[in-house]
Structure 1
Amino acid sequence: MDSDVENSGRFSTDVYADRLRAAQEATAAAGLAGLIITPGYDLRYLLGSRAQTFERLTALVLPAAGAPTIVVPRMELAALRESAVPDLGLAVRDWVDGDDPYALVADTLGGLGVATAVTDSMPALHLLPLADVLGVVPVLATDVLRRLRMVKDAAEIDALRKAGAAIDRVHARVPEFLVPGRTEADVAADIAEAIVAEGHSEVAFIIVGSGPNGADPHHECSDRELLEGDVVVVDIGGPYEPGYNSDSTRTYSIGEPAEDVARRYAVLERAQRAAVAAVRPGVTAEQVDAAARHVLAAEGLADVFVHRTGHGIGLSVHEEPYIVAGNDLPLEVGMVFSVEPGIYFSGEWGARIEDIVVVTEDGALSMNDRPHELVVVPVRR
C-alpha cells in the first residue's frame, strides 16, 4: 500500500489535518459560524470516517475558529478508531440515549441563532430537530466544501491513478469474456470477479450493453446472449482504497464491425480526443462538452449524443465538476473528471469511450491508457 495510505485504509493524518484547516478557512470566508457534517462522503473526505447514518446523531462540528468536535453516541465510539479522529486529537462529546445530541451541537457552536451549514446528505430526521434547537434553519455546506472536493490534492490524484490502472487491467481481460452464446450477465459476473482481483475493494457498477442494449447508456446487463457481429459497450468501475473510484468505458466488436459502425465509431474517437485536447486551466466545463459535440455535429451525429460529456469523480463516482452545456465553471489544476462522449442508435447499437483525466498546468493527464479504438474480438467457435 502506498506510503500516503495507512493500513487502516485512509490517508496519513496530515492529509486530513490540512483538509480540516481548509474547510475552516472556507467556513469563515462564507461568514458562517461552523459546519455540521454527518456521515457520508463529506465526513469521509474530512476525517477518513466510514461511519454510517443511523437514527442516533453522529456529527463533526467544525467551527469557523476553534477546535473541531465530534458528537457521537457512546455506543458508536469504537467506529471512530478507524478514522483520523484519534490521531488528530479531536475533542469527542459522546452521548447516551436520553441525552439531547442536538443541544450538544448547539453548545459546541456557542449557542442559539448561529449561522451554520450542514452537509447535503444530512437526513431530515437530524436536520429538523437540529434547526429547532439552533433556532435557525442551516444552509447547505455544498458551496463551502465544493471547491475543496473538486480540486484533488496529491494523495487523491495518486489514489485515482491507481484506480485507473486497476480498471485498465480489467478492460485488458474483457475480450476473453466476450464469447457468442454467453449472456451479458455471464460477462458481468466475470468482470465483477476481475474488478476485485485487480485491486478494487468492491464493484460500484457494471454495464455490459450488447447489440441494441448498447443504445441504452444506463443499461446494466441482461440475459441476452452475445452474437457474432455485436457491438458491446462495457462501462465498469469501483472504489480503490482509500475509497477513490475508477470509471472507464471501452467498446468492443465481436468479429469485424460493419462498415457503417467502423465509420461512425471513428468519428466518436475524434470527438473524445477533441474534448480531452480542450482541457486546460481556465477553459470552462461547457467548452469541453462543446468540443466533443462539435465533432459529432459536423458528421450529423449530434442527436445521438444524449448525455453530458463527463462528471467529476473521487470518493463518489459522480460528483462535481459536471462537464455539461450551461456549466461555465472554469477548470482548475487538480480537477478530475470523466471525458465520455457516446453515440446511441435506438434498437441497433451504441458506443462510448471514457477516460478519467486530471487537469494539469498545461492540459490534461489521463488516468487510463487502454486503446481507444473499437476493440475487435476474434470469434471463438
Structure 2
Amino acid sequence: MTSTSFDTAELYPTTRVAAVAEAAGRAGLGALLLTPGPDLRYVTGYEAMPLERLTCLAVPASGEPFLVVPRLELSAAEHSPASRLGLEFVPWDETDDPYALVARRIGPVGRVGLADRMWALQSLRFRDAMPGAEQVLAGSVLRELRMRKSPAEAAALAEAGAAIDTVHGLVPGLLKAGRTEREVGKDIAEAIIEAGHARVDFVIVGSGPNGASPHHELSDRVIQPGEPVVVDIGGTMPSGYCSDSTRVYCVGEPPAEFTAYYEVLRQAQEAACAHVRPGVTCESVDAAAREVITEAGFGAEFIHRTGHGIGLETHEEPYIVSGNTEPMRPGYAFSVEPGIYLAGRHGARIEDIVICGETAGERLNHTSRELIVV
C-alpha cells in the first residue's frame, strides 16, 4: 500500500466551482451542465452513479450553481465531497421532469456547455428542454483547468505512480514460460488492488507476436521461452487519479534483433522525457522520440502518438502528438510511451507518466527501463 502525501480536500477545492463559472463566462456560455463522469468529479469530487435518472451540476456563468439529483441519490450526494462546496442540492421525484427543472432554473441562455461524457439520451433531452440554446462541449471550457494539475493533483498522480511501480516490481515473479497471458494478467489485477488502487482499469500482457499489438490486453496464449512480453497496466486510486505504466520483460534470453531495437526505444523514450520543459510544444516531445526511432530505421513501426494526458481519466488532454502545437505549462501531466512493433514477431513500449515542472519534466514512475530478463 502507498501512503497518501496530500490532503484529499485539496483535490477538490471550494474555489473550483467559481473558477469554472468564470471560465464559462469568458467562453461566452450561459451555463455548464455536468452529468456523472470525470468533469463532474473534477468540479465537485462527487463520483456519481451514471443512471438513466438525471444527476446534473448546473453552473451558470452568472448566478448560483446547483446540483440536481434523483431523490433516491440525495443521501449519496450529501455524503460526497460536493457537500463541502455550499451548493444547493435540488432533489427530484420519479414523476418530475428534471430537464425542464434545470432549464427553468437557468433561464434563457444562448449557449450551454454539456459534459464531454454526457449520454446522448441526456443531451437530446436537454436540447428539447432548452431549444434556444446552442450546445457545445464543456471540455472547451474545462480543458485549461483540467490540464494544469494543482500540487495536490500532482501528488495524487505521484501516489498512483508509486502504486503501479509496486506492481511492476512483482511482475518478474509472475512471468514464467508455460503460463498463459490470462493467468499472469489475473495475478497482476489482484496486485493492482493490493497496491492501493480502488479499481483495475486495464491489464495488457502481450507475449511474443501479441506484443506487436499495442492494445492487445489478454489471451489464452501460452508464454514461450525466449519471448519478450509487453506489460502495460493501470488503475484508478481512491483519490480518483489514474496510473499507467508499461515495461517490457523477456522470459529467458531475448532474440538479438529485439535487443537491438529495444535499445533504440529506450534512447527514444529518454530523449522525449529529457525534452519536456515549459514552453516546448506537445508535438516537439513527440518529435524528440520519433526522430530517434526513425533514424534507426523503425519509423514505420512506431504506429501511435507518443503520449496522452492523464488525471481523472487515463486518456485526457494534452495529447503528445504531431499537430498539437500547445506549449507545455507547469502542471501538465502526460505519458511518454514510444513503441516499436514488428507485426507477427514481437514489439516493445516503454511508458512513464511525466509532469512538467517549472524548469523540466519529472517522471512519476521509477522502475527500471532496461529490458528485464526473468
> Under TM normalisation by the shorter chain, which class is it?
over 0.9
Q: Structure 1 residue 133: deviation in Å?
A: 2.1
For residues 234 and 372 of structure 1, the distance between their equivalents in structure 2, rounded to whole angstroms, comes to 12
Residue from 219, 237, 240 that aligns with 2:234: 237
1:284 has 2:281 as partner = yes
| Partner in structure 2 of residue 62 of structure 1 | 59
Identity %: 53
Shift of 1:18: 2.3
Structure 1 counterpart of 2:323: 326
Q: Tell me how far 1:113 sits from its aligned partner.
A: 4.0
The C-alpha deviation readout for 1:208-254, integer Å capped at 9, x for no partner, is 01111111111111111111110010000101121111100000111
- Tell me if structure 2 keeps the 8 A contact 1:284–1:330: yes
Task: For residue 126 of structure 1, give the secondary structure of its aligned residue in structure 2.
Answer: helix
Matches of 2:152 and 2:138, distance apart in 1:
23
Amino acid at match of 1:122: M
SS at match of 1:180: coil
- AA matched with 2:87: L
Q: CA deviation at 1:55?
A: 2.0
Change beyond 3 A, Cα 1:181–1:2: closer
Structure 2 distance, partners of 1:13, 1:260, is 49
Q: Distance in 2 between matches of 1:40 and 1:156?
A: 17
Query: Is the Cα–Cα contact under 8 Å of residues 11 and 152 in structure 2 kept in the other structure?
Result: no
Alignment of 1:167-206 (within 5 A): 167-206=164-203
Work out whether residues 49 and 82 of structure 1, in 8 Å CA contact, stay in contact via their aligned partners in 2: no
Q: What residue in structure 2 maps to residue 115 of structure 1?
A: 111
One-letter code of the match for 2:98?
A: P
User: Which runs of structure 2 are paired with 1:1-381 in the superposition (5 Å)?
Assistant: 2=4, 4-5=6-7, 11-12=8-9, 15-109=12-106, 111-135=107-131, 136-377=133-374
User: Per-residue CA shift, 1:97-151, capped at 9, x if unaligned?
Assistant: 2222122212221x22442211121222222222222222322111100111111
Could you list the per-position Cα deviations for residues 292-319 of structure 1 after superposition, in whole angstroms to 9, with x for gaps in the alignment?
Answer: 1100111101011111100011111111
Conservation of the 8 A alpha-carbon contact between 2:23 and 2:141: yes
Distance 1:159 1:359 in 2: 15
CA offsets, 1:62-115, max 9 Å, x none? Answer: 111232101112121012023222222211222112222122212221x22442
1:112–1:133 CA contact under 8 A, matched in 2: no
Aligned counterparts of 2:183 and 2:71: Cα–Cα separation in 1 = 46
Matches of 1:68 and 1:16, distance apart in 2? 15
Note the residue ranges of structure 1 that are not aligned, 5 or more in a row: 6-10
Letter in 1 for 2:118: M
Give the Cα–Cα distance (whole angstroms) in 1 for the partners of residues 184 and 308 of structure 2. Answer: 26
Letter in 2 for 1:134: M
Cα distance in 2 for residues equivalent to 1:4 and 1:357: 19
SS at match of 1:51: coil
Structure-2 separation of matches of 1:133 and 1:196: 43
3-state SS in 2 of match to 1:171:
helix
Q: How far does the alpha carbon of each residue in 1:157-182 deviate from its partner, in whole angstroms, 9 at most, with x for none? A: 11110110011111111011111111
Partner of 1:8: none
Deviates more, 1:16-25 or 1:170-179: 16-25
Measured in 2, the distance between the counterparts of 1:233 and 1:113 equals: 51
Distance in 1 between the 2:110 and 2:37 partners? 24
Give 5+ residue unaligned stretches, structure 2.
none
On the 8 A contact 1:343/1:350 being kept in 2, the answer is yes
What is the RMSD computed on CA atoms of the aligned residues?
1.4
Q: Counterparts of 1:288 and 1:186 in 2: how far apart (Å)?
A: 36
Instruction: Note the alpha carbon deviations across 1:337-380, whole angstroms, 9 max, x for none.
Output: 00000111111111110000000111100000011110111xxx
Q: TM-score, normalised by structure 1?
A: 0.94
C-alpha distance after superposition, 1:169-217 (max 9, x if no partner): 1111101111111111111111111111111112110000111111111
Partner letter of residue 272 of structure 1? Q
